[in-house]
A and B are shown apart, each in its own frame.
Chain A
């Protein structure tokens, strides 16, 4: 019941980074009821003549994914993940530790397994425990929580803050990485990120091809 007004109100200004599109969510008390959002295909931006504007618009569309709690929850600015659509502090409390995999005795894998696990006949708002073989927190350099989309965009392009990757090298991560892909398959009782990983990957490719311009 700690308050974090910023996290609650700034869904629209969070950042992306090379990384892991995840929510380490054992969701909080609030049932996830909002409808799943759509993601517009690349073709929807074809009419934008100005390449810079088109590129920026594509990134804004990608922002629906990037700033989704499923993704931001494990790109926190602090040392602990967030959880649920309200992006509240993770319960039980867990620290990022070396490599973002937790601390001795309390690692990500203490609770998060190689895949989502359905919970049977327990809390109505916890239908599953999310999982992926690579479950971990993004490093602090890649924190998105509390950042504007413009800042996140710059962060993604900055090799110092994206894991030393070129934009081409990031393509696999965006479109194929299973931990990123978890965002669209988050398990029972959790709202997936908008669209699909494939559609998101296509937007990424189109954004890079259009010059990778960042929104203002």
Chain B
């Protein structure tokens, strides 16, 4: 076994349809050589028709995904688009991750290669279809030359090119080499949606089978020859630095190879994972907490409260807000909402493998959500040209926003750890669950204050909202859209409306968390509106619809979800429905939650009906899965989750025992319907999350009479 040749590159291939894996990213030792030999041969013969499509002599079509796969389905979705326009057979499709390259693989909505904002389908829909159509055109052109027939007489069905008059027929593979020599067409014609064969079909994901039998390789599973395992001891106060280090006991543990201080803490390098953990436990480190956040969560919340009423930044203002609230015949309603820090807690904690080749270039294997940023980070820290860094994006065990970090702080840590090791051996840095839960980059704490005015005839005619919280985008004197999105663009027709934002700073860095600003704005808007409707004697559905007269897509999902819930019959005794509707990432989702109170006083969410409008439904199965998952992920958070800074700023929670995740017995039955649409497809990874919190809170209030003012709900309502 040679040390570097056993590392295969990023070529991960899945056979679509039957979901058979024919290759891994990295093969277990012992299998590697055979795998290399067989695979390199077919790889060298495979022809790249464009940045996204590779056709091999055996007729397989490999689609390169510029987006990371962590369960939201881009490998399947993007491949579907290519296959559709190529008229390929789904069984011949394989998917692989694209390398890091902003020129070729930028997210067209952001200008850099990244996965986020639920934009995968939206930014790729036309691009990937064009890639497929281009490949098809080139293959047909090559076939036409070879067969001496006009290309216009050729047809393609299920990956077979045919010329009816001559009876000639072939797969794609035979023409791949010739097609690759042709100049790609300037323009291609895309199919009409009425001609779609694959788009709109329910289809299991291409990576499902390997995710069921243990074969799927994640970064943590990669094992390179001579590789060191590294773990970093981090401080319990975010932002503390090492003041003194005694590594003697750690170094005495068999298997521990080295200990080094790095900017984020102390790295322990070992021959195996257990030795690394034992070494970490044996470290004797004193921390300097002068740069750490020393306020508790309660102190932070109080300081945010103190900012309400002070001059903030106006995010939106229409009508005459002061007049609406000075009308003697109006009634007003006020509420404050408090949201905790939230950790993302993906199942696979953050990790990365870095390895230097003999020519000085570096290979990085990671669940890289911003691969070009990661490349830059490695280049800067390890001081090599970015052109000599290769990112091999791996399957990732969830993200929910955690892997999407500008400036790549995690990859900087991994690079620092790698650099401090001397870079002579491959290094896998792995985070424990504690590193993850205490690792900062939380959904920030937010405090909202809302005031509503209902005039004498029961019309809601005043809405005044203030939000105080950390700016995820680092804004100071201007509005951070991620603080106000979903509220400042209130879809309800309310004549006088204002939203003011205050950006705060905090020693614990913020990050987007599945659905970003909508995690809190949707809650405030949908809960507060529900209370205003109740106070003005209006039905929660009809009342919303009346205020949504200018927003047909919100109205349509709301009507649909109401219909779904009512066709299920009256809720059983003791169960109450709560509703919420919210647009995020250009998709529209309405949910109705059926809730009761359990014997121990906590809420039980029995059922959730979901209606979603995300434009063209490329794969309804994946859309439904994302709605189910969005409901479950959001529900766990609103019921149970908070990261709390205790007195002096230490992070209280550390693992799943005190940072609860929704468990199977707490998962409601989720019933999803997709609105038929010809609009361009929009996001589904995040939009399922925002409505679940307010839908449950609205049901809870109608059930118990207790409005929800603070999350997590279970603690605030029952303590």
Closest residue of chain A to B640, judged by CB? A1
Question: Bound state CA distance, A123 and B278, in angstroms?
Answer: 14
- Smallest CB gap from A95: residue in B: B665
Given the known interface contacts A3-B601, A4-B600, the answer about A121 and B654 at a Cβ–Cβ threshold of 8 Å is: no
With A2-B714, A3-B718, A92-B663 known as contacts, the answer to whether A120 contacts B281 (CB < 8 A) is: yes
Which of A26, A121, A126 touches B281 (beta carbons < 8 Å)? A121
Chain A residues within 8 Å of B600, by CB: 2-4
A28 touches B658 (CB 8 A): yes
Contact in complex: B714, A121 (CB < 8 Å): no
| A1-B719, A3-B719 known; A123+B274 contact, CB < 8 A | no
B602 contacts chain A at the CB level, 8 A cutoff: yes
Q: Which residues of B contact A125 (CB under 8 A)?
A: 654, 658
Contact of A1 among B434, B655, B718 (CB under 8 A): B718
**Interface membership of B584, Cβ < 8 A:** no
Asked if A209 is an interface residue, CB under 8 A from chain B, the answer is no
Contact with A along B628-650 (1 / 0, CB 8 A): 00000000000010000000000
Name the residue among A1, A3, A124, A125 with the largest chain B CB count within 10 angstroms: A1
| B653 engages A29 (CB within 8 Å) | yes
Report how many residues on chain A are interfacial, defined by Cβ distance under 8 Å: 17
Residues of A within 8 A of B655 (CB): 122-123, 126
Residues of B close to A98: CB separation below 8 A: none
State the Cβ distance, B399 to closest chain A Cβ, in Å: 23
> What is the bound-complex CA distance between A3 and B601, given in angstroms?
8
Chain A residues near B712: list those with CB within 8 A. Answer: 1
Instruction: Known contacts A2-B602, A3-B718; decide if A26 and B657 are in contact (CB<8 Å).
Output: yes
Contact between chains at B719 and A124 (CB < 8 Å): no
Chain A interface mostly helix, strand, loop or mixed?
loop
Q: Is the CB of B432 within 8 A of A121?
A: yes
Say if the beta carbon of B168 comes within 8 Å of chain A.
Answer: no
- Tell me whether B277 is interfacial, beta carbon within 8 Å: yes
Across-interface contacts of B653 in A (CB, < 8 A): 29
Q: Which residues of A contact B433 (CB under 8 A)?
A: 122-123
| B652 close to chain A: CB less than 8 A | yes
Contact of B652 among A1, A2, A29, A93 (CB under 8 A): A29
- With A2-B714, A93-B663, A121-B281 already in contact, the answer to whether A29 and B657 are too (CB < 8 A) is yes
B114-153 residues at the A interface, CB under 8 angstroms:
none
How would residues 93 to 135 of chain A score, 1 for a CB under 8 Å from any chain B CB and 0 otherwise?
A: 1000000000000000000000000001111111000000000
Closest to A91 in B: B657
B residues in contact with A26, CB < 8 Å: 657
A121 touches B278 (CB 8 A): yes
- Taking a contact as CB atoms under 8 Å apart, the answer to whether B657 and A120 are in contact is no
Q: A4-B600, A29-B658, A120-B277 are in contact. List 18 more A-B contacts (CB 8 A).
A: A1-B640, A1-B660, A2-B600, A2-B601, A2-B718, A3-B600, A3-B601, A3-B718, A3-B719, A28-B657, A29-B653, A29-B657, A120-B274, A121-B231, A121-B278, A122-B434, A124-B236, A126-B655
**21 A-B contact pairs sorted by A residue (CB < 8 Å):** A1-B712, A1-B714, A1-B718, A2-B602, A3-B718, A29-B657, A91-B656, A91-B657, A93-B663, A120-B277, A121-B278, A121-B280, A121-B281, A123-B434, A123-B655, A123-B657, A124-B236, A124-B434, A124-B654, A126-B655, A126-B657
Point out residues on A near B: beta carbons under 8 Å.
1-4, 26, 28-29, 91-93, 120-126
